[in-house]
Amino acid sequence: GQQVMQIPQYQHVQEGEDFTTYCNSSTTLSNIQWYKQRPGGHPVFLIQLVKSGEVKKQKRLTFQFGEAKKNSSLHITATQTTDVGTYFCAGPVTGGGNKLTFGTGTQLKVEL
Amino acid sequence: NAGVTQTPKFQVLKTGQSMTLQCAQDMNHEYMSWYRQDPGMGLRLIHYSVGAGITDQGEVPNGYNVSRSTTEDFPLRLLSAAPSQTSVYFCASRTGQGYGYTFGSGTRLTVV
């Protein structure tokens, strides 16, 4: 079945360092979404990418969709303690209508 | 707008008991889904709905039932609780296929 994997599973950084998480799908995706979940909280939608090679920015966050639409990345520049949480990518299930499958997530910890 | 409201927030069940997790949204969203979140396994889709009267199975539907009699409500029923159903359950809704999900705050369920 379709799989959406994320690496790394965990990442510890010092405040001010950059951070990147990668999302890889076993099948081509029509679009990809990114979510952030703070510790003890619920996932919050960040952004959706649709076009091949698309790059979108939200302040210090840069999202990229691969040319083949099978991978994506989220890059955070100069991390802050407010960036702590787990970042998930999610894509539609191939042939699954409107189902959305989530990646395994990358847990980010930021140390002062 | 309250968004997506889940009740209860916490629940302890004995093995074999049944219960219903409630989910209501006031955003007139057509699409609603139930996910469970277990450590290291991300979010897994249980059931979803694309409108009143329409439901379908997700990745892990066994042991759960849903119904969608109104646009607003999407309850999840546990038929006979098992320890393997100990998890955090999230309900989510969205306008349509090309939009991000709004998640509820979750129900933390423990089955003993």
Residues of A in contact with B34 (CB under 8 A): none
Cβ atoms of residues A79 and A87 within 8 Å: no
Q: Which of B92, B97, B103 sits opposite A98 (nearest CB)?
A: B97
Residues of B in contact with A102 (CB under 8 A): 35, 42-45
Number of domains in chain A: 1
Q: Which domain holds residue A94?
A: 4-111
The per-residue DSSP string of A52-74 comes to TT-EEEETTEEEEE-TTSSEEEE
State the amino acid at position B62 in one-letter form.
Answer: N
To the nearest 10°, the Cα dihedral for B74, A30, A61, B106?
A: 10
SS3 at position A81: helix
How many C-beta neighbours within 10 Å does residue A48 have?
A: 17
Alpha-carbon gap: A7 to the closest alpha carbon of chain B (Å) = 12
Q: What is the pLDDT of residue A12?
A: 97
Q: Tell me what percent of the residues of chain B surpass a pLDDT of 70.
A: 100
SS3 at position A51: coil
Split at pLDDT 50, 70, 90, the class of A73 is very high
Residue A99 has pLDDT above 90, yes or no: no
Contacts of B9 (CB under 8 A, 6+ apart): B105, B106, B107, B108
Cα distance between residue A91 and residue A3, in whole Å: 10
The tokens for B47 are 């059931």
Q: H-helix or E-strand containing B22?
A: strand B19-25
Split at pLDDT 50, 70, 90, the class of B42 is confident
Cβ pair B97:A41 closer than 8 A: no
Cβ atoms of residues A17 and A111 within 8 Å: no
Residues of B in contact with A9 (CB under 8 A): 40
A75-93: pLDDT as tens digits: 999 999 999 999 999 998 8
Alpha-carbon gap: A18 to the closest alpha carbon of chain B (Å) = 23
Residue B1 has pLDDT above 90, yes or no: no
CB pairs A-B closer than 8 Å: 57
Cβ atoms of residues B88 and B71 within 8 Å: no
A20-36: pLDDT as tens digits: 999 999 899 999 999 99
Cβ atoms of residues B73 and B84 within 8 Å: no
B55-98: pLDDT as tens digits: 999 999 999 999 999 999 999 999 999 999 999 999 999 998 78
Q: What's the Cα-to-Cα distance from A31 to each of A44, B63, B83, rounded to whole Å? A: 17, 31, 36
The number of CA neighbours under 13 Å toward the Cβ of B100 is 17
Split at pLDDT 50, 70, 90, the class of A1 is low
Split at pLDDT 50, 70, 90, the class of A94 is confident
Residue A97 has pLDDT above 70, yes or no: no
Residue B105 sits at φ, ψ, to 5 deg, of -80, -5
Q: Tell me what percent of the residues of chain A surpass a pLDDT of 90.
A: 86
Q: Report the CATH number that the domain containing residue A89 is assigned in CATH.
A: 2.60.40.10
Split at pLDDT 50, 70, 90, the class of B39 is confident
Q: How far from each other are the two terminal CA atoms of chain B, in whole angstroms?
A: 36
